[in-house]
Structure 1
């Protein structure tokens, strides 16, 4: 049972890293394609995409980072990931544009870092 929980946590951490990367790519592409080329605004800037992405990040982040605290007793990855998720939430509140991109990329970077540290059991 214990190895199954560790495997699930590991998969969730890897999913969190992948989601963080996809979010950063989406953010940069949104700025470039919409801001500079005027393409894809209806899809890339859709509030639903951002809400769903943040919801997935919250679920994956809190579950896997919470499992990490239970597994290795270190709360730092959860705190770092929580700060990243808060920045991502703040990005939704500021509206589209450069400030949103900066907050999002900072947030997903912290979340990815937290997942990486959680996988290694350190921080």
Structure 2
């Protein structure tokens, strides 16, 4: 049954589910980013190979683009729904840290900026989920 054929009450109940799923996807992406960072460290330091793939800049750019897109929709939508600025502010800070990690050379600073950034983005998504209840 197409969404337009649903009564108005049913249509509005679909919106929070989509926004909730986007927040969950955002949290999942943040987790994948953290796993990528940790795996890169472990693989490079213990096995000494894989750097050409795991350090590829395009992985970081695509990850940031996905995080920006999902956060913009989910957290922006949440802000419009519940009006709380804190989840948006926390997530924005995390996205800025993730962007800063693209600027610094590979190493400890990039690793710390990225992990702190994804932790903040994930926290913003969690706060957004709780605020929308």
Q: Does 1:2 align with 2:21?
A: no
Aligned pair count? Answer: 122
Normalising by structure 2, we get a TM-score of 0.88
Residues 32-72 of structure 1, C-alpha deviations (whole Å, 9 max, x = no match):
21244312111100011111000000000111000110111
From 37, 50, 54, the equivalent of 1:40 is 50
Provide the rounded CA distance (Å) in 2 between the counterparts of 1:5 and 1:31: 39
Normalising by structure 1, we get a TM-score of 0.94
Gaps in structure 1 of 5+ consecutive residues:
none
Q: CA RMSD in A?
A: 1.1
Q: How does 1:1-123 map to 2 (within 5 A)?
A: 1-121=11-131
Gaps in structure 2 of 5+ consecutive residues:
1-10
Provide the rounded CA distance (Å) in 2 between the counterparts of 1:106 and 1:84: 7
